[in-house]
Amino acid sequence: MPTKPAGTLYRGREGMWSWVGHRITGVVIFFFLLVHVLDTSLVRVSPEAYTAVIGAYKNPLMALGETGLVAAIVFHAFNGLRVIAIDFWKKGAKYQRQMLWTVLVLWLIVFVAFAIRHLSLALGGH
């Protein structure tokens, strides 16, 4: 009698969760990108229209949203490089788990550095 379902080497482990994270962050970034091209396109309407909409972004709630977006982008970027290493590096599949932890450490360092700089600029007295 099997006590565990087959395939638990992947399911519910690092490989699966990094894949889930890659999908969710990818979709979030894609929808932001659509909006971001539209808001930048306002430079073609008038200088005041663009500056007004960008001005609406400059509040604490949007600053938190931007910080979350950058968290998603940095994870997607580093995990994407890990996926490439798994596909093209001979030992990639063997070290995929170690590479995920490397991705998470680098993500934390870059994200914290960005968050400190961006939030102190965005929330600082201006």
Partner 1 sequence: MTTDIQSPRSGKVGSGKIAPKYRRGAGSKGNFEMFAWLFMRLSGVVLVVLIFGHLFVNLMVGEGIHGIDFGFVAGKWADPFWQFWDLAMLWLAMLHGTNGVRTIINDYAEKDATRFWLKVVLYAATVVIVILGTLVIFTFNPCPVANGVQLPGGFCPAP
Binding to partner 1, residues 6-65 (CB under 8 A): 23, 26-27, 29-30, 33-34, 37-38, 40-41, 43-44, 46-48, 50-51, 54-55, 57-58, 63
Pairwise CA distance, residues 112 & 74, whole Å: 11
76 is an annotated ligand-binding site residue: yes
Note whether 62 and 69 are within 8 A (CB): no
Query: Rule CB under 8 A: which residues touch partner 1?
Result: 23, 26-27, 29-30, 33-34, 37-38, 40-41, 43-44, 46-48, 50-51, 54-55, 57-58, 63, 66, 70, 73, 77, 80-81, 83-84, 87-88, 114, 117-118, 121-122, 126
